[in-house]
Chains A and B, each alone.
Chain A
């Protein structure tokens, strides 16, 4: 961190040279694969450091090499000291090595102790010189050894790189750097922050920097006046992070500052409580949408057709495995398409699960209409067969289904954290629901389905081929379960047991919402989701689930046909 004080100095004479070097580096690192974007971003920022930070030593790689090679020696504590020594040189040429160290890509050669940046190549590693960034040949798997990092070292690296990159040209990087300083609360970085603040033009970055400065001030031995101002900045942040920071310093403070801290904490607590309720509703909706996705196919096969389909969960599971197969094929043949893998998987999952559904209906269920007990046993048997088939085909272990970039991560709304995968699943569930409604209400096939379920004999006499409508309706329900599987593969295990976890919940939703009514399924799923999430913080996950079950049992006693009961002659028949 010694280098931080020397910002805003001369542009080093060899900037152009370094630029060249950096380009080369970006090129080399780009060969590394999917991480390359963020890496080149980081490199870009090291380039920026090259322009703003001083060049204490002309980038003579050989002068730094002994220092770099030192990294390979000793234990974590020694490595930590060595990182400090490298940062103290203030020479940006050490940055790629430090970055690689944080990523776990820094290795040393066992034979001579030389340190290299290594990336996997075939059975061994491709080596890159950490200073000149030129290729340095290859090494076998057992010839080089990784320089180990642990969480402590990663924290050290994060804060070191953070305070070094406060002046980067890219505002996003500066923001990230300020956030890193906020977390490290290093009093030494106040000076660097002041310098950065003076030069800062972007308002949002400025705010984060001020917050970071406040965090560092509270940790320093500055006077009460500075600290009071810092407390005010943090209080206006209102986040959990700020509260955590205030709480941690509270005990070490005295007098008016301590009182101000306590007042700030109470204020933040109050605002967070309100957001918590909103967050809970969001969680409830999210759980509800998962329930809806799992249950909506069943709402057709069980709700509309009256078939107790115990193999419904397996249709969901098959949909998830289709996603896996699609991603696997994309990974091996067209890696560029990975972000679209889910869109490719959706129609395929619908077709595969739907086809299996039709086959089950034609092969087994149609012989058992009107005999619910036999249907239950037969479909349960089918579910076991499907599970074991998948187990023999794909193995019993979990399969990795990746989240595309747009499904990973989270964003903040006020004090709420909303994860992208949950948000898209809510949207997706609503789309599926709307689509299904359209099919049932606006298409001829939907008309036939409704006709057959409402009055089979009359529909048959009107010339509708009821057996085929049955098969296709069952196929539709199964297909919908399949596309639910695509969505659920994003949040759950893809294993042969995937479906079992959802079958009980699905029946619960359909029965609670009212058999035969899709709106009931929607309202039922959302109600159960929200109720569950409001019970969970108080009762715990286990008891919460039990309470929901008890609630449904009592509710069914009162209203045997669920929330939205169908009325009319069709029901009595």
Chain B
């Protein structure tokens, strides 16, 4: 709010939103929403924008925050990674928001990191990601690999007796890092090199015939085989269609996916896919009162009873409530005060427990394994007995296993190397 007219004019050149927000309006607290509303990622991110607007509206109904109304500022970074940085800057400098909820892909997050660091603002990132990062200004409310990938592999290994693994992913940073962690993990569990097949495909890959037949071949070596899929968004629909048509049943070769949620299944006839798995921290089918309330509120807000809820929406729900609580605790929206206050804040999640913000800016979550049902929903078939603490630095990767993250004073470091005793180890 202290930004001058010159800066306003400069930034106003490239802004598409109303820049009038920059005029000091002390009676509202502004919350930025940085999700793509056009371009390839609009398919996933538009829903999150709506979820945030709903949460803000509900908070205002409860009387706002610190006696002020919350005001949402929505920008559209259009699935364009550099534009994310520009729009983040616009939100913070021009619109003067106090916290930003946004980003989906890792590359968009990486693109905005320097902006949040430089301008010292807050970002709540709601999507499961590859880990290997912990930044002072960012709160990771989605799952780290140890809150999704590792438990899923454990489940298949212990419950389904899987001995052979196909790691299939889209060719970008999240699948590559996750698969690297999984490969190291599987090997540490005694899985032989020849029992792991790793396969990458381009974004939006639509011809899965060869890969599905490769999986079939790989699965006919006499050992129980499973596919661990980090295939991204849109490419999943043709992949699952091909699986269904090729007659690969979940009873024979189960596929466990980390990027397929209720939203992705909405474009599919799931009858041939019953029994394939997904690992998340939330399913719409979670049978709790908090979840039923959330779903009802969502349906009422969006005006469509068929819209689904999904894991990143829950992450925003948790993240937003944590921010609200931290601001109340600190008595101010000042980023430094909120960063100090938010560690240890614990809010209800939608699966019947509480999630807490940890010193490494990741949160505690339950891990659920769900099987796809013929109505496009998941049914939880297994869950961790307690909450799992998000681990920023994987314990299975060379160069990252010695790192820890703790943003509390006096350590205040995102990558503290326990071996050298210095902040700023390798990895990030």
Contact = CB atoms under 8 A, between A and B. Distances in A.
A540 interface: yes
Which of B200, B206, B211 has the most CB atoms of chain A within a 10 A radius of its CB?
Answer: B206
B130 interface: no
A541 B267 contact: no
B220 A402 contact: no
Nearest to B171: A542
B92 to A, nearest CB: 26
B267 A493 contact: yes
Nearest to B234: A493
A417 B210 CA distance: 11
A247 B38 CA distance: 51
Contact of B371 (A150, A287, A419, A493): A150
Which of B38, B219, B222, B381 has the most CB atoms of chain A within a 10 A radius of its CB?
Answer: B222
Contacts of B263: 397
Which of A183, A421, A541 has the most CB atoms of chain B within a 10 A radius of its CB?
Answer: A541
B245 A283 contact: no
B210 A533 contact: yes
Contacts of A501: 204, 206
A65 interface: no
B38 to A, nearest CB: 6
B21 to A, nearest CB: 24
B245 A402 contact: no
Contact of B237 (A419, A420, A493, A537): A493
A204 interface: no
Contacts of A536: 210-211
Interface in A458-504: 491-497, 500-501
Nearest to B241: A491
A271 interface: no
Contacts of A421: 241, 245
A422 interface: yes
Nearest to A546: B202
Nearest to A529: B207
B266 A397 contact: yes
Interface in B198-245: 199-202, 204-207, 209-211, 213-214, 216-217, 219-223, 234, 237-238, 241-242, 244-245
Contact of A388 (B38, B269, B274): B38
B371 A151 contact: yes
B267 A419 contact: no
Nearest to B202: A542
Which of B238, B245, B269 has the most CB atoms of chain A within a 10 A radius of its CB?
Answer: B245
A248 to B, nearest CB: 3
B168 to A, nearest CB: 10
Interface in B98-150: none
A240 B220 contact: yes
Contacts of B46: 395-397
Interface in B238-276: 238, 241-242, 244-247, 250-252, 254, 263-264, 266-269, 272, 274-275
Interface residues of B, number: 57
A246 interface: yes
B247 A410 contact: yes
Given A492-B238, A495-B234, A410 B40 contact: no
B379 interface: yes
Contacts of A387: 38
A104 B373 contact: yes
Contact of B199 (A240, A244, A540): A540
B43 interface: yes
A241 interface: yes
Category for how many chain A residues contact B: 35 or more
A36 B172 CA distance: 44
Contact of B160 (A152, A279, A402): A152
Interface in A39-64: none
B352 to A, nearest CB: 15
Interface in A341-394: 387-388, 391
A247 B160 contact: no
A537 B201 contact: no
A537 B214 contact: yes
Interface in B33-62: 37-38, 40, 42-43, 46-47
Given A151-B251, A400-B268, A491-B241, A246 B222 contact: yes
B194 interface: no
B94 to A, nearest CB: 24
A18 interface: no
Nearest to A159: B251
A267 interface: no
Nearest to B161: A152
A211 interface: no
A158 B43 contact: no
B336 interface: no
Contact of B246 (A158, A400, A419): A419
B237 A409 contact: no
B398 to A, nearest CB: 24
B47 A397 contact: yes
Nearest to A501: B204
A408 interface: yes
Which of B216, B219, B251 has the most CB atoms of chain A within a 10 A radius of its CB?
Answer: B251
A493 B238 contact: yes
Given A154-B251, A155-B251, A541-B205, A491 B238 contact: yes
13 contacts: A154-B275, A241-B220, A249-B222, A286-B209, A388-B38, A397-B47, A400-B266, A410-B245, A421-B241, A422-B245, A492-B237, A494-B267, A542-B200
Given A154-B275, A408-B245, 20 more contacts: A146-B379, A151-B251, A152-B159, A240-B217, A244-B219, A245-B222, A283-B210, A286-B209, A290-B207, A391-B42, A395-B46, A400-B267, A408-B272, A419-B245, A421-B241, A422-B245, A492-B238, A494-B267, A497-B204, A533-B210
Interface of B: 37-38, 40, 42-43, 46-47, 159-160, 171, 199-202, 204-207, 209-211, 213-214, 216-217, 219-223, 234, 237-238, 241-242, 244-247, 250-252, 254, 263-264, 266-269, 272, 274-275, 371, 373-374, 379, 381
